[in-house]
Amino acid sequence: MEQIRNATTVLNDELLLLAHSTSSYPCKPEELNLRMIQTLKEEYNCPVGYSGHEVGLQTTYGAVVLGAAFIERHITIDRAMWGSDHAASVEPGGLMRLVRDIRVIEKSLGDGVKRVYESEKPIIERLRKM
């Protein structure tokens, strides 16, 4: 946190974006500490995103659910290629699934206000008659 605080003091607050990340390639899930997204959102008045270096997409979805305002993932044409980043990168098909699924998650989060949807009303009526 001290490094983050020092870095943010030299940046223009109006243009500040922060991305939580753990810089191992590939990163173990237990070292991702996705709750840091909330910690950064509480401390800084700016969009907080997530820069993932893990294998798979599941934990990136978790970052979205925890409030990541943007996502950064490395992409590659082949995860088996030589180099430090490829194993933790996303291939084109995975990137397309990631974007598609994030859009579904965004829609599903709603606004937090409890309501009865039109699609529920026939079911409610039917169950109340039983």
Domains of the chain, CATH where assigned: 2-129 (3.20.20.70)
In this prediction, residue 11 carries a pLDDT of 83
**Phi/psi class of residue 33: alpha, beta or left (left: φ > 0; alpha: ψ in -120 to 50)?**
left
In this prediction, residue 107 carries a pLDDT of 96
In this prediction, residue 85 carries a pLDDT of 82
In the predicted model, residues of the chain with pLDDT beneath 70 are none
What residues does 19 pair with on adjacent strands?
49
Report the run of H or E that residue 49 belongs to, with start and end.
strand 48-52
In this prediction, residue 87 carries a pLDDT of 81
In this prediction, residue 129 carries a pLDDT of 84
